[in-house]
Amino acid sequence: MRAKSVIILIFLFIAGTCYGKSLKIKRQIEKPYKSFIVVEEKTGKILMAENEEEKRIPASLTKLMLSLLVLEKIKSKEISLSDRITVSKRAAKIGGSQLFLKEGEVFTLEELMKATLCASANDAAYLVAEKIAGSAEDFVKLMNEKAKMLGMRDTTFRSVNGLPRSNHDDTDLTTCKDMAILARELLKHPKILEWTSIKTEPIRGGRFIMVNHNKLLTRMEGVVDGLKTGYLRASGYNIVATAKKENFRVIVVVLGAPSAKSRDDFTVRLIEKVYSEWKIKEVVKRGEEVSKDIILLDGKYKRLRGVANESVICPVRKTRPQVVEKELHMPSVIEGEIKEGQKLGEMVVKVDGELVGKVDVVSPVYVPKANLLTRIIRKAGLNI
C-alpha cells in the first residue's frame, strides 16, 4: 500500500511538472497580437503586416469613426466645438468606461470629445452621437456610410462607442487594414492629435481628472502622439497608434493582444523596427525640371521644359537601392500663350515598379505669343 502511494505521488509530481512546463512554453510562444499592420501615413504603403485583413472586434477603437464624423461636421460648420449639449436620460445610463454623466448636465462638444478620446467615455460618445444624428442608431448608419466611402470594405459598425449589445454576434467588426485607412483620414484633421495626445485632463471644474489609456504617449514621448486604445474581453487589447520622427509618420494598428503590456511592448518594437529599417525618400522635388521639351507653336520661346508642381515622397528600405522611374505624359506641341503655373502634363512616379505618386507638370514661366511672322514660319516648318 505504501509503495502504491509513493508511485501515485511520483506520477502526480511528473504530471504537474509537465503541465507547468507546457504552460510556460505556451506563454513563451503566445503571440502578443492576433493581427497588426504598420503603414506610412502619406502614401498608405504597408511596411509590415500580419493577418491585416482578419476581421476582429475593435472595442473602443470604434470611437475613432465617431471622431472623424464630428471633425468633418465641424469643418463644414454644421456644428461647433463650443456647442453646449445637455445630457439625455439614455446617455446617462451608458456603462463601461464613462464620465458618469448625469441627466441634465451641460457640456461643450469639445469637452465631450476630449472625454471620448482621452478617457474613452462611452456615455460621452453616445451623447455626441445623439446630438449630431438625433439618435445613436441613426449615427451608426452615418458611420457605416463613411466606412464604405473610405473603402473600409471589411468593417461594420453596430455601436457608436464600441460597447457590445446583449448578443455577442451583434458587435462592431473591423480589420487592421481598415483601421489604418480610418487613421490616415483622421490625421488630415490636426485636432485629432490635439485630443488624442492629452495625457490627463480636468473636467467638471477640476473635480474629475480624465486619464488617457494610451501609455505610449509617456513611454515614447516625442515620438508617439496619438491615437487610441480599446479593450473588451471578446476583443483583447487593441491600439491604433501614430508615431513621427522628422518627416516620417507611421500608423500602427495592433488587434487582439492578450494584455495591455504585451500590446504596448509589441507596438514599441514595431515602431523601433520600422524606423531602423525604413526612411523617407524624396523621389521628386517640387520645382524639379522634367527631361522632355515641349514645342511652343505660338510662344515667344520655341521650346519649354515644365517643372514638377509638388514633391513626391515615399518610404524606402535603408539597405536597398531603389530604381526610380518617372513617366511623362505630355503633348509634344502646344499652341497659344503659356501662363505661369499652367498645367502641361503629368508625371507618373514608380519606385521598384510600384506606383508611389502622380504630380502635375507645369510651366515655370509666362510665355507670351510671338509675333505673327514668327508663328507662321514656325508652323510652316512643322508642316502645320
For the cut 80, the answer to whether the pLDDT of residue 167 exceeds it is no
Task: Identify the residue with better confidence: 6 or 352.
Answer: 352
Q: What is the per-residue pLDDT for 95?
A: 80
Least confident of 2-11, 72-81, 93-102: 2-11
Q: DSSP secondary-structure letter at 31?
A: -
For the cut 60, the answer to whether the pLDDT of residue 17 exceeds it is no
Determine which one of 34, 35, 42, 63 is catalytic. 63
Whether residue 227 has a cis bond before it, omega within 30° of 0: yes
For the cut 60, the answer to whether the pLDDT of residue 116 exceeds it is yes
For the cut 90, the answer to whether the pLDDT of residue 297 exceeds it is no
Percent of the chain with pLDDT over 70: 89
Task: Identify the residue with better confidence: 373 or 29.
Answer: 373
Grade residue 62 by pLDDT with cuts at 50, 70 and 90: very high
Rounded Cα distance between 344 and 336, Å, is: 12
In the residue annotation, 60 being an active-site residue is answered as yes
Which of these, 262, 231, 241, 227, lies nearest to 162 by C-alpha position? 231
Grade residue 375 by pLDDT with cuts at 50, 70 and 90: low
For the cut 90, the answer to whether the pLDDT of residue 164 exceeds it is no
* The three grid cell numbers given for residue 241, joined into one nine-digit string: 497608434
Grade residue 26 by pLDDT with cuts at 50, 70 and 90: very low
In the residue annotation, 80 being an active-site residue is answered as no
What does pTM read for this prediction?
0.84
Grade residue 382 by pLDDT with cuts at 50, 70 and 90: low
Tell me the average pLDDT across 2-12: 55
Determine which one of 35, 60, 97, 197 is catalytic. 60
Percent of the chain with pLDDT over 90: 74
Half-sphere exposure for 49 (CA within 13 Å, toward CB): 20
Q: In angstroms, how far is CA 251 from the centroid of its own chain? A: 6
For the cut 50, the answer to whether the pLDDT of residue 261 exceeds it is yes
Domains and CATH numbers, the chain: 30-279 (3.40.710.10), 285-381 (2.60.410.10)
Q: Mean pLDDT across the chain, nearest whole number? A: 89
Q: From edge to edge, which strands make up the β-sheet containing 289-296?
A: 324-329, 343-351, 354-362, 303-308, 289-296, 333-334
161, 66 in Cβ contact below 8 A? yes
Q: DSSP secondary-structure letter at 56?
A: B
For the cut 80, the answer to whether the pLDDT of residue 368 exceeds it is yes
In the residue annotation, 311 being an active-site residue is answered as no
Least confident of 135-144, 214-223, 310-319, 365-374: 365-374
Any residues with CB less than 8 A from the CB of 68 and at least 6 apart, and which? Answer: 146, 182, 185, 186, 189
Q: What is the per-residue pLDDT for 25?
A: 42
Tell me the average pLDDT across 284-307: 90
For the cut 70, the answer to whether the pLDDT of residue 104 exceeds it is yes
Determine which one of 35, 97, 120, 363 is catalytic. 120
Exposed / middle / buried, residue 227 (Cβ in 10 Å: 0-12, 13-18, 19+): buried
Which of these, 175, 185, 277, lies nearest to 235 by C-alpha position? 175
For the cut 60, the answer to whether the pLDDT of residue 168 exceeds it is no
Task: Identify the residue with better confidence: 99 or 243.
Answer: 243
Tell me the average pLDDT across 73-101: 91
Tell me the average pLDDT across 11-31: 55
Grade residue 13 by pLDDT with cuts at 50, 70 and 90: low
Least confident of 252-266, 269-283, 356-370: 356-370
For the cut 50, the answer to whether the pLDDT of residue 277 exceeds it is yes
Task: Identify the residue with better confidence: 276 or 24.
Answer: 276
Q: What is the per-residue pLDDT for 7?
A: 56
Q: What is the per-residue pLDDT for 204?
A: 86
The helix (H) or strand (E) run that includes residue 30 is: none
Grade residue 23 by pLDDT with cuts at 50, 70 and 90: very low
Least confident of 126-140, 347-361, 368-382: 368-382
Q: What is the per-residue pLDDT for 302?
A: 85
Q: Phi and psi dihedrals of 354, rounded to 5?
A: -100, 130
Q: What is the per-residue pLDDT for 298?
A: 80
Q: In angstroms, how far is CA 62 from the centroid of its own chain? A: 13
Grade residue 381 by pLDDT with cuts at 50, 70 and 90: low
